[in-house]
Amino acid sequence: MSVILEARGISKSFGPAKALVDVGLTLRAGEIHSLMGENGAGKSTLIKILSGIHRADSGVIELVGEKTRETIAPRSNQEAQSLGLSTVFQEVNLVPTLTVAENIYLGRELKRFGILDKRKMCEGAKRALARLGLDIDVNANLEDFPIAIQQMVAIARALDLKARVLILDEVTSSLDRMEVESLFAVLRQLKSEGLAIVFISHFLDQIYEICDRVTVLRNGRFVGDWTLSELPRTQLISKMMGRELEATERALSNTDSSEAQPAWLECEGLARAGSIEPFALNIRAGETLGLAGLLGSGRSELIRLLFGIDHKTQGRLKIDGTEIAIDDATDAIRNGFALVPEDRKTQSIFPGLSVRENIVLALQTQRSWARALSRREQNEIASRFISAMGIKTTDAEQPIETLSGGNQQKAILARWLALEPRLLLLDEPTRGIDVGAKAEILKLVRDLSAKGKSVVLVATELEEVVRVSDRVAVLKDHRKIGELTRPNLNENAVLSLIGEAP
Amino acid sequence: MKTQWWSLAALLVLLLLNAVMNPAFFAVSIHDGQLYGSLIDIAFRSVPLILTALGMTLVIATGGVDLSVGSTAAFAGACATLALGGGWLSALAAALLGGLAVGLFNGLLITALGLQPIIATLISMVSTRGLAQLVLGGQILPIANPSYVAIGTSAFLGVPVAIWIVVFSCLVLSLLLRRTTAGLFIEAVGANSLASRFIGLSEKKVRLVVYTLAGLFAALSGVVLSTNIRAVDGNNLGLYLELDAILAVVIGGTRLSGGRFSLLGTVFGALIIQTVTTTINTQGIRVELMLMVKALVVIAICLAQSTRVSQLWTRLRQGAMS
């Protein structure tokens, strides 16, 4: 098969953060190519460069024709489209208040004597949608349809652009099985017509069903590309997570006390419709429980459910044998839970407020508004945690956003430790922070469980979870598929559990 | 430098400018045991704005806005006339109760119905003004009760009662906000309302409280405005007050996006606005230029406070040195 697009040595930085370093991608005519990688691996950045939304700092993209070979650097999405690169993004980026037909012809309206030819556009839109097996009123506003249909309209539009390369970024996440089937049928058709298709999805089953080849990225770097039929699932997962299967039989086993402790927190068939299926989970004192699974497997959802941010739709939660209702964060905190949420910037830090205020806020909230901590008490708490946790800041009055990511995260941990919680829920506590701070935070987690606290840890890097946890619950497709305890706990075991589960 | 000190600096510059143009500007004299002078005059005339802007500061600190304060002032003034028969205290209570009701209504629209603050308060800006006109029967109602009128006209220890009200309000409010955790909670909700949910801080309660307080302060401002002119005019009392109040808050260094707030900055901001008005009036500048001059001063102050301009300034200075 002939190469249709070749990207080489693509690098891109956002400020100090390197999103892509020397990444390559080769697409052939008549193939469906998957781009795989964990969250933050650089998939989105690469796609945005191909579709003209970002510009690469360095590197070449070449479009290969029958006899031609031209270097391209699209400066806008529209330019990319005119070059034959058509992209459908995860979030529908069409205009909700325009009709379906208008959206399909947005930016390339059909005209007759300078006037919009509505009739022709409606017919064209109908034809484009019919290819996807969709028969809807093309004169209705886009926003009147559910997200799945809107997504299909976006796909129909992209298909109609006479593209040579079609990029689909997580477009199936809101589609049901039937819709995915009809999409796949169209993709196979397009493939036989000689289109190159990039298909991104976190559903491994779909990848293996539809794709021919895969390029894996990790931490903004190119790991390799393979023919999928020659790459078993466990291999693919380990390439994404950055661990060879046979490596690392870790040597931790510093805490075997978990067996002795009875569980104080029990979840029985706890679930939230559409978010996580019923699961059972026990949590013991002095134990670190890791949650493993790919991104989107339901790890964060489980944690949000435990903390009352999301509400359960069925099941029970028992603390010390008594059933407890946790309806919001206040309930959770009152029961000794603490949560370091996934996204530090939007869910944790209070920008503009000082490190001191950020640390004392949770404690203050628990004490009600009239029982303010005096400034002296606040200073005492803040400086105690700043020195105990080695938070690097000139003083406690620095605005928190001026600290580095790792130090911000330590301050957030301090916020919760000030409450002396019984259970710490840590959702990606080491995301986006440097190696040194990462190690310190993981050490802290172990110290805490040694002191008898329970910790639930989610981390994208499997190696981290396995190293720190006493026990690991494995999730896949919003379902808990198993649990691993020492001595059977290692990365191999986790990966094969994910790969083999239906 | 904290932005509130920028606004103090701007205020001082404006006052000095006045003193240059009018050497007697800082002079204060005593007649019949009462202080007179331009400074006292500016302070006195800015009372309604300061009161309104104090409440507005808290609303803006949560990331919201209250457009209904001007109408609330008119409505509160009207409510007072209904209760004048029971004496000045009951009139005052009726006004405050009216303001409280509007503020609570705003708060409920925003927290219970989830309306955006600008929409919710736009609704009550229109409806409350209409309510005030209804109460007054579309008339300008004179106020005859001398003890109620004293709120806006008399003096205590040589200083107008209205100024005492501001001083007292500022003290009580800052004690209430800074000695309890309320101030921190308001700032937290404004800085990151999602994060406040994660620490179990009820942002709805916080919002309900700030809009109610804004209503109360607007009512107080309505009382001062109407007693000062001894009449309640449903159509014009507090007209455009909300715009000046928002302006005062912003000049005072509180960001419209929410978070950190400064009550003192707001007071300076309101004084700046009044000083500009007074200057234009006393310097014989043509009245039709009033709005333009005001706009220029505001633009200058906002530019002086903006981080981008200060960065540009530093870069220019470094460029000049190297």
Structure tokens of B220? 């107080």
CATH of the domain at A301: 3.40.50.300
* B102: containing domain: 3-283
Contact between chains at B195 and A364 (C-beta distance less than 8 A)? no
User: If you measure CA to CA, which chain B residue comes closest to A348?
Assistant: B195
Write out pLDDT tens, residues A467-487: 888 899 999 888 898 888 888
In a domain, A498, yes or no: yes
Is residue A293 located within the same domain as residue A441?
Answer: yes
Is residue A387 located within the same domain as residue A486?
Answer: no
Structure tokens of B137? 């029967």
In a domain, A173, yes or no: yes
Is residue A24 located within the same domain as residue A94?
Answer: yes
Q: Which of A369, A394, A420 is the last residue of a domain?
A: A420
Mean pLDDT of B22-41: 83
Task: Band the pLDDT of B101: cuts 50, 70, 90.
Answer: very high
Write out pLDDT tens, residues A316-357: 999 998 998 898 899 999 999 999 988 888 889 999 899 999
**Residue A410 Cα, gap to closest chain B Cα (Å):** 16
Distance of CA A369 to CAs A167, B107, B210, Å? 52, 19, 14
- Strand positions, DSSP E, A118-239: 165-169, 196-200, 213-218, 221-227
pLDDT above 70: residue A96: yes
Residue in this structure with the two tokens 């209504």, named with its chain if needed: B105
Q: Give the residue from A156, A165, A155, A225 showing the smallest Cα distance to A193.
A: A165
Q: Which of A231, A254, A281 is the last residue of a domain?
A: A231
The burial class, CB within 10 Å (0-12 / 13-18 / 19+), for A437 is buried
Give one DSSP letter per residue of A291-355, joined into a string. Answer: EE--TTSSHHHHHHHHTTSSPPSEEEEEETTEE----SHHHHHHTTEEEE-S-IIIII--TTSBH
Is residue A160 located within the same domain as residue A187?
Answer: yes
In a domain, A46, yes or no: yes
Is residue A399 located within the same domain as residue A429?
Answer: no
In a domain, A76, yes or no: yes
Total CB pairs under 8 A between chain A and B: 78
Q: Which of A333, A352, A369 sits opposite B180 (nearest CB)?
A: A369
Domains in chain B: how many in total?
1
In a domain, A344, yes or no: no
Structure tokens of B53? 């802007």
CA dist., res. B147 & res. A411, Å (int): 56
Contact between chains at A309 and B197 (C-beta distance less than 8 A)? yes
In a domain, B164, yes or no: yes
The burial class, CB within 10 Å (0-12 / 13-18 / 19+), for B226 is buried
Query: What kind and span of H or E run contains A368?
Result: none
In a domain, B277, yes or no: yes
In a domain, B267, yes or no: yes
Is residue A357 located within the same domain as residue A476?
Answer: no
In a domain, B199, yes or no: yes
CA dist., res. A306 & res. A426, Å (int): 12
* A118: containing domain: 3-231
Is residue A413 located within the same domain as residue A448?
Answer: no
Task: Determine the 3-state secondary structure of B180 from DSSP.
Answer: coil
CATH of the domain at B154: 1.10.3470
Distance of CA A221 to CAs A7, A40, A74, A213, Å? 13, 11, 22, 18
Q: Does B150 touch chain A (CB under 8 A)?
A: no
Contact between chains at B184 and A361 (C-beta distance less than 8 A)? yes
Distance of CA A243 to CAs A236, A249, B218, Å? 10, 11, 64
Is residue A23 located within the same domain as residue A158?
Answer: yes
Mean pLDDT of A378-400: 89
Is residue A96 located within the same domain as residue A212?
Answer: yes
Q: Which long-range contacts (CB under 8 A, 24 or more apart) does B315-320 make?
A: none
Q: Does B261 touch chain A (CB under 8 A)?
A: no
Write out pLDDT tens, residues B224-272: 999 998 888 988 999 989 999 999 998 898 888 888 999 999 999 999 9
Domains in chain A: how many in total?
3
Is residue A178 located within the same domain as residue A294?
Answer: no
Contact A197, A33 (CB under 8 A): yes
Contact A171, A90 (CB under 8 A): yes
A463-497 in b/e burial notation, b at 16+ Cβ within 10 A? Answer: ebbbbbbbbbbbbbbbbbbbbbebeebbbbbbbbb
Q: Does B105 touch chain A (CB under 8 A)?
A: no
Give one DSSP letter per residue of A92-141, joined into a string. Answer: --S-TTSBHHHHHTTTS--EETTEE-HHHHHHHHHHHHHTTT----TTSB
Task: Determine the 3-state secondary structure of B32 from DSSP.
Answer: coil
In a domain, B189, yes or no: yes
Is residue A414 located within the same domain as residue A427?
Answer: no
In a domain, B79, yes or no: yes
Residue B77 has a pLDDT of 93
In a domain, B274, yes or no: yes
Is residue A402 located within the same domain as residue A437?
Answer: no
Mean pLDDT of B281-299: 80
Write out pLDDT tens, residues A294-323: 777 888 889 999 999 888 888 899 999 899
| Torsion angle in degrees (nearest 10) through CA of A70, A74, A78, A81 | 40
Mean pLDDT of A64-78: 84
Highest mean pLDDT among A7-11, A374-378, B52-56 belongs to B52-56
> Which residues of chain A does B185 touch, with a Cβ-Cβ cutoff of 8 Å?
364-365, 369
Residue B76 has a pLDDT of 95
Task: Determine the 3-state secondary structure of A429 from DSSP.
Answer: coil
Write out pLDDT tens, residues A425-457: 998 888 767 666 777 888 888 888 888 889 999
Q: Which of B182, B191, B199 sits opposite A351 (nearest CB)?
A: B191
**Positive or negative, the Cα torsion across A403, A404, A407, A412?**
positive
Query: What kind and span of H or E run contains B14?
Result: helix B3-21
C-alpha A382 chain-centroid distance: 33
In a domain, B296, yes or no: no
Q: Which of A420, A438, A468 is the last residue of a domain?
A: A420
